[in-house]
């Protein structure tokens, strides 16, 4: 488990200046919008 998710209870991800996902790190990491925004 990466250190940044060890301490995080809620993760918020921004895409183009707007929140595209928020919630538990595991949920956010697997969110399709996050994957599309950051991995193409």
pTM for the structure as a whole:
0.71
Reported as a single tens digit per residue, the pLDDT across 1-40 is 455 656 768 999 999 999 999 999 889 999 999 999 999 8
Strand (E) or helix (H) holding 21: strand 18-23
d(CA 29, CA 31): 6
C-alpha–C-alpha distance, residues 3 and 36, integer Å: 23
Spans of all domains in the chain: 3-39
Q: Quick one: pLDDT at residue 33?
A: 96
**pLDDT for residue 1:** 47
């Amino acid at each position: 488990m990466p250190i940044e998710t060890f301490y995080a209870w809620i993760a918020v991800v921004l895409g183009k200046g707007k929140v595209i996902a928020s919630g538990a790190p595991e949920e956010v990491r697997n969110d399709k919008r996050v994957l599309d925004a950051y991995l193409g």
